[in-house]
Amino acid sequence: MLKRKWLVAGTALGLLIPGAANAASAVTAKTDAPTEQKDLNKEKFAEKRAEMKAKLMKLVETYTPEKKDEWNQAIQKQQELRKQMKPHFEKHKEAKMDNIEKWKKKAENNKMTDAQYKGKMAKWKEKHQAHKMEKQEAMKKFHEAVQSKDKAEIQKQLNLALDRLQQHNKKMENRLKEMDKQPQKNVQ
């Protein structure tokens, strides 16, 4: 029971730290499911996110109560930035898919070798995989701290997660400013 509680709390933290913004946006990706099912899934996800946020805030109150206001501000800012980024995310996603299609067509028409196509895809995947691995490593450390019940380590991991969230919010703000200034460009 205790393991499950910490697993859920860790998952909540995972959704709230950087990378989660992008991951959360991926949940709203187009599927073949009917609109009603999509709405139901969104509602369930929103409920689960609220539940996980509450558990995370309970951890914050227990281990780093002096940072509670900072956490609330950072989470609120992240939510606002996500709403602002959503239209840009859709454009970015379309541009990315267009590029992949262009690469495929070039490879099919022998304007790009198979090796070049595979190289571009590998480079793109590697770039995104690195971020994913960083997030997984941070979550692993957080889970280990929670399981060990080491108060100092839990505090350290919560503080690191808060720092990552705040840094990610700054990155999202800067990215949003850039996107507002420039017309949509191809993603590579």
Instruction: Express each pLDDT in 75-120 by its tens digit.
Output: 999 999 988 888 777 777 777 777 777 777 777 777 777 777 778 7
Residue 149 lies in a domain: yes
Number of domains in the chain: 1
SS3 40: helix
In a domain, 186, yes or no: no
pLDDT for 73 beyond 90: yes
Q: What is the pLDDT of residue 10?
A: 60
Residue 13, domain member (yes or no):
yes
Which string of b and e fits 109-130 if b means at least 16 CB within 10 Å? eeebeeeebeebeeebeeeeee
Q: Domain containing 112: what range?
A: 2-181
174 found inside a domain: yes
Closest CA to 10 of 163, 157, 130: 157
Please report whether residue 8 resides in a domain. Answer: yes
Confirm whether 187 is domain-assigned. Answer: no
The pLDDT of residue 18 is 55
Q: Identify the H or E element spanning 101.
A: helix 68-108
How confident is the model over 147-170, as a mean pLDDT?
A: 92
- How far apart are alpha carbons 175 and 1 in whole angstroms? 41
Any domain includes 22 = yes
Q: Is the pTM of this model over 0.85?
A: no
Residue 164 resides in a domain = yes
